[in-house]
Chain A
C-alpha cells in the first residue's frame, strides 16, 4: 500500500479519462427524446420590443415550441438575481433593474435573449428563429463606463437613475485627504482595466429534463457550483423546490469564474423542459459565448499615491467607475467593491486609504467575476502606482517596495482586511535572484544594439482568497455563507469516498483531495474517490471560485477526517481490546501504546460495519462523517512576479523574454498542480496585458465576437515560466493552505505593463498593449524628439 504524501508531485488521477477522450462534458450527454434550443438574440444594443410575430416560425418543420418573455411572465418565473447587496454612501441599497430570462418589453445588449426556439434538430431551431419577425424600436445605446453617468446618456434601467447602480466608498476620506495635503510627492495615474472575455475552452451548455412520474427536474449544466445554481433556480427564480430539482455539473472544461453564475440559457432549458415535456439541450457556439457569457474587469480609475520625504507611502486614494453591463450578474456587485477596494493596501503599510466606486449600467454584456475578480484590478492600481512613484522620486522600484512592505503580522489595513502572515521581502529577494535583476542593465544594452527596447517590471501582489468567513461576508452584504462541506465515507473494505461541495473544472481535486486522505489515513490514493458536482449525491456545498477549494474545501475534508479518526480509534480500541486513550494512529495503523498490538485501517473500517465487537449503546456502527468548515479569515497569498520584455521599435511588437514568479501559497499539497495553476494564471494575465481587448462599437455591437478578432494567447505568444515558492503557512486553517488559482492572473498584468513602461520611458501604456498601441507610443515619441531638435 503506497501512501502519497502531502507535498508530492503525484500525477493526476483524472487525467486518464481526458487523455483517452473519455471525459464527459455536458455537450457529450444526450437524453432520450431530446430537443434542441436556439436563442433568438437581439441584434441591437438597446431597443423596445414592439411586437414579436411567431406565427410563421411556429409552423416551421420540427418546431416543438417557441417561448418569449410573455410565457415566462405567465408562468411567474422570476428573474436572475444578484446575490450581494451593496449600499451606496448614503446608505441606500443598490438600484438593480430586473433581469428576465427572456426579454420583457426591452432588450439591453446585443445578444440579449428575445425568444427561445425548441425544435427536433438545431438546424430546424435556427431556421425557425430566422422566421421570427421582431419589430424593434431601436434606442440610443451607452457602452463605455466613463460615459454612462453623463447627462442625457441613454437610460438602461429606469430603476437606476444616471445608470448608477451604487456609489460606494470605503476608508477614511478625511484622514486620507490630510495625508495627501502633507505629502512630499503625489503620484497620479489614470488607469483603464480592459474588459475581458473569460473564454473557457468548453462553451457553456445545458440540458433540462422533466420526469413527469416524479414531478422532478434534472439540469445538466456547465457550472462551478451546482448547489448554488440549484438554490438560485429554486428559491429565487421559482423553477422547482430544491428537493425536486437535481443539478449535475459533470466534467467542466474550464470556468475561470464565468461558470459560477446562473444564466438565462440554463434556466430556460430547465423551465422549458417541463413546459414542453421533452428534454431541452443547448450548447453555446463561440460567438454566443462572446456575446453572452459574463465578461470580466472593465474599470476606469483615477488613482493617487501620497509619499513622504522618507519615501514612505502615506496615503492612497482612488475613484473607480465599474462597468456592470446591461444587467447585474450573480455576484457582479461584489467584484468592484469588497473584492477590489479591500486589497488596495497591497503588500504595503499604507496608513490611509480611501476609495470610491460607482457601478454603472451600460448596453453591453453583463460583467462579473473573472479569474481574480477585483483583485487583479486592485493589484494593477497599486503596483502601477508604486512602480511609477518609485521612478518619479528616483528610487529603485524594488527598494521602494522594500521600504514600504508590511513586515509585522497580523496587520490591519485601513480597508477591512487583516493580513495574517507573509514574508514579502523573501519572495521579492528570491524572485530578483532567479530573474538575475543584477544582470538586467547588460541585457538591456545588448538588446538596444539589436534595435529592441528592453524593460523590467515587478508586481508584488497580494490577494484575499480562501473565500470566505460567512459572518464577515454576511455583514458586507453577501446573500449566502461561504463555508464548504465535506463528507467522508469509509467503505467496509477501507476504501474511501469523499463527497465535496467543491467542484473541479481543471484544478485536479480528484488527485489533491485524495492525497490529503491518503496521507491522513495511510491508504493508497487509488483507494480514494472524489465525488462532486451532483446535488443528488453530494451534501450542500458552495463550489469552486476565489481560490477556495484548497483552503476551504480541503479544510472541511480535514475536519471530517478528524472525526473519522476519532471514531475509528474507538472502534480500534474494541478490536484491540484496549482503552481508547491508549490507541495511537499513524501511517494507517492503529497501535496500543507500549505494546506491539496493531490493526490496520481497513480492518478497523470492516469492524465498524460488522459491528460485532462493540455495544451499539456505546458506539454507533458505520464509519462516515461530515463537516461544514467555515473559515475564520480570508487567506492572503502573495508573491513577486518579474517580467522582462523586449519591444521591437520598428513594429511595436512586444515579446516577453523572461518571466519569474515566486509565490507564497502557504503549504502546498501537490506542487505540480500548483505550478500548473500559476502558469495558467500568468498566461491569462499576459493575455490581458498584451492581447485581449474586448471592443464594442459606439452603438454597442461587439466587434471581438470570435477568435478572428479576439486575440487569445497562443503557445508562441508566451515564454516558459520560471516558478519558485516561499512558504509562510496560513495560520487560519488546519492545513496551512492559502490558495493558488488566481495568483498568476492577479500578478501578471502589472508586471507586464511595468516592464513596458520601463522599456518605453512613459507611464502611459494601455492594456492590451498591442503592437498598434506600442507603435503609436513610439511614433509619438520619435515625432516629439524630432520636434525638440
Chain B
C-alpha cells in the first residue's frame, strides 16, 4: 500500500492507504475529520471541498496518493487559535446555513473565492458557487454571507461591523 504524507490543518500526517482511497476517505476515515462530507459522488455538489495547496478542490474526485506531500486545509482547520475565520462568522451572522451538511464545502469554497477574487458582487458570487449545491437556503443568505465574509477577510474588520 502506498504511503501518503500530508500536512493537514498544519499537522503532518502519514498513513498507508490503498491506492484507490479518495482524499475525502482518508480525511474522514483515517484522520476522523468528518467535517468534510460526501453528497453526490459526481463532483457536482461540493460538500467535499477542501483546500489543497491553497486551492479549493473536490476531495471526492481526488485520490489521496495524488496529494502526497501536499498541504490540506479542511473546515476543521479554518478557525485559528479558537477564533472563527471571518467566513465562518459571516455564515452564522447571515444565516447562511440550515441543515449544515453543505456548509463546510460551501465555506471552503467561499474562502477560496475571496482568496482569488477579493471583494465580489452578487452576480460573481452566484456564478462562483457553481460547484456547490445547497438544498435548504435557496442561496439567498449564502450570498449575503459571502459578501460579508469577503469584506471582513479583505478589510480585517469583524463580520458584524462589516455587515452593518
Residues of A at the B interface (CB closer than 8 Å) are 11-12, 14-25, 27-28, 30, 123, 199-203, 251-254, 256, 285-287, 505-508, 672-673, 675-676, 679-684, 706-708, 712-716, 718, 720-721, 744
Contacts and interface: CB of A to CB of B under 8 A. Distances in A.
Contact of B39 (A16, A286, A287): A286
Interface string B39-76: 11110110100000000000000000000000000111
A15 B75 contact: no
B19 interface: no
Nearest to A682: B138
B154 interface: no
Contacts of B125: 715
Given A201-B102, A202-B39, A676 B137 contact: yes
A21 B35 contact: yes
A285 B37 CA distance: 12
Contacts of B92: 11-12, 15-16, 19
A706 B42 CA distance: 8
Interface of B: 20, 28-29, 33-42, 44-45, 47, 74-76, 78-79, 84, 88, 91-93, 95, 97-104, 107, 122-123, 125-127, 129-130, 132-143
Contacts of B78: 20
B130 to A, nearest CB: 6
A23 B100 contact: yes
B98 A508 contact: yes
Contact of B129 (A507, A708, A716): A716
A471 to B, nearest CB: 33
A254 B95 contact: no
Find the residue from A19, A25, A683, A713 having the highest chain B CB count within 10 A. A19
Nearest to A677: B98
B135 A19 contact: no
Contacts of A18: 97, 100, 103-104
The secondary structure that dominates the B interface is loop
16 contacts: A11-B92, A11-B95, A20-B78, A21-B36, A21-B76, A21-B104, A22-B35, A25-B37, A201-B133, A254-B135, A506-B99, A708-B42, A714-B133, A718-B126, A720-B140, A721-B138
A713 B137 CA distance: 11
A679 B140 contact: yes
B42 A707 contact: yes
Contacts of A252: 99
A253 B126 contact: no
Contacts of A201: 37, 39, 45, 47, 99, 101-102, 133-136
A712 B135 CA distance: 8
B136 A506 contact: yes
Contacts of A16: 92
B99 A253 contact: yes
Report the 6 A-B pairs with minimum CB-CB distance, sorted nearest first: A21-B35, A253-B101, A18-B100, A506-B99, A683-B138, A21-B75
Given A201-B134, A256-B135, A721-B140, A706 B41 contact: yes
Nearest to A283: B38
A12 B49 CA distance: 24
A20 B75 contact: yes
Contacts of B76: 20-22
A715 B129 CA distance: 6
Contacts of B75: 19-21
A286 B41 contact: yes
A23 B130 contact: no
B28 to A, nearest CB: 8
Nearest to B144: A720
A252 B37 CA distance: 13
B103 A200 contact: no
A679 B138 contact: yes
Given A712-B45, A716-B127, 5 more contacts: A11-B92, A201-B39, A254-B98, A254-B99, A676-B140
A689 to B, nearest CB: 14
B95 to A, nearest CB: 5
B79 A20 contact: yes
A251 B100 contact: yes
Contacts of B137: 676, 679-680, 683
A720 B98 contact: no
Contacts of A199: 135
A200 B37 CA distance: 13
Contacts of B41: 285-287, 706
Contacts of A285: 41
Given A203-B39, A680-B137, A684-B135, A716 B34 contact: no
Given A15-B97, A18-B97, A19-B97, A715 B102 contact: no
Find the residue from A15, A199, A201, A683 having the highest chain B CB count within 10 A. A201
Nearest to A676: B95
Nearest to A286: B40
Contact of B88 (A19, A286, A505, A673): A19
A286 B76 CA distance: 25
A19 B138 contact: no
A20 B100 CA distance: 10
A287 B127 CA distance: 26
